[in-house]
Structure 1
Amino acid sequence: MKVLVVGAGAREHALTWKALQSPLTDAVYCAPGNAATAAIAVNTGLQATDVDGIARFNAERDIGLTVIGPEAAVDAGLADRLAQSGRLVFGPTKAAGRIESSKAFAKSLMARAEVATPAYRVFEDPTTAKDFVRGERRPFVVKADGLAKGKGTLVPRDAEETLECIDTLMLRKTVGAAADRIVLEEKIDGREVSLMALVDGERVVALPPACDYKRALDDDKG
């Protein structure tokens, strides 16, 4: 089987490395890949969001499995396009990917499904958002609604820093249009644990829990 790994990060290198260990794998291609994947597989130069190009490559090379890494590729509808062509693909549809591509949608979905989640408010106007924070007089986690390559969540220490974070995302546009809408989320202190699972619509396979230590230095002082 020929495998195509979509993405250009360390995650995609790990996926490529693991795919090569399978006895079912004949060759692994990466779109676009990176220097590390070039050493063990074939980089195609195709961008992760080039849906048409990746679909053509699948057909031309008779790719048996496409593994999608980046959220942007999911949001571009890559899985939908490949599935419509009868190709085997590992990755969520664009609709399912809204849980990741829109923080506001994810929070509303959790609220409707009665999944425990910190309280939140959604804002499209920075002035209104800051007025809300001033009225509450406490810090909130500030999240860009859209995809921001891991740079869209800011964790302030107090209300004043929360106001600065709102300006950073909505006025200074540090993550662009991803922060045209933001989510202000109740700040909860403690250790963050991520628990992810693989699902196919019928089965759920849980992966080991993991901690993501985002801030530098001890005691989150970075």
Structure 2
Amino acid sequence: MASSPLSTTAYASEHFMEGAGAVLFRLSDRKICLIQDRATGEWLLASGRRNIDEERQTAALRGVWRKTGYCCRMLPITLKTWAPLCYDEGELDVVDEAREEAGTCEPFMFPHRTSRSGAFKITWWYVAAMNEQNPAPEDTEFETRLFDFEGAAQTLTYQSDRDVVHKAIAIFRTSFAELLGDVIRWALDDQWCPGAYAQQ
């Protein structure tokens, strides 16, 4: 039996787990929301484990809402991706390379590591905007604080989170260099907290 010339690793379902989270921007003053674990003092990005049959975007929004207390929505961004557009399927002229696409809510990064339980864990990271009409979050196991771009990157405890934030900031600047006013108006409307995660 022939073996693939490419490096391949396969994980059965009992040996991997998925998480999803978002770098949460407050658009009006270009701040990033971080959380601090009150028990350990660690500064982190908000995320959560994906539930069975849950869409990854929904898992990310739910995880951010639970950890920060802020309702949020995915922020359409410009990024390079290997994912083809829907109408590209079956087309012969689709180039097999990373292409720049605008207005997408695709994940922009996924770090992977071995969890404390020994499972292979990946976390899908998105860019999101908070609902600025929200009241201040109530006390939870996490403290929530807003930082400017440089402060957020310097405050995070883990290098992997700093890498995620640096990439999110670069994407944010590329995506909204000329359209920030329109994006802020879009983010301030009242269509927030879809029932898919707000009631969980």
Instruction: Please classify the TM superposition score into its range, dividing by the shorter chain length.
Output: under 0.3
- Structure with the higher strand share, 1 or 2: 2
Normalised TM-score (structure 2): 0.24
- Larger RCO (CA within 8 A; separation ≥ 6): 2
- Structure with the higher helix share, 1 or 2: 1
Normalised TM-score (structure 1): 0.22
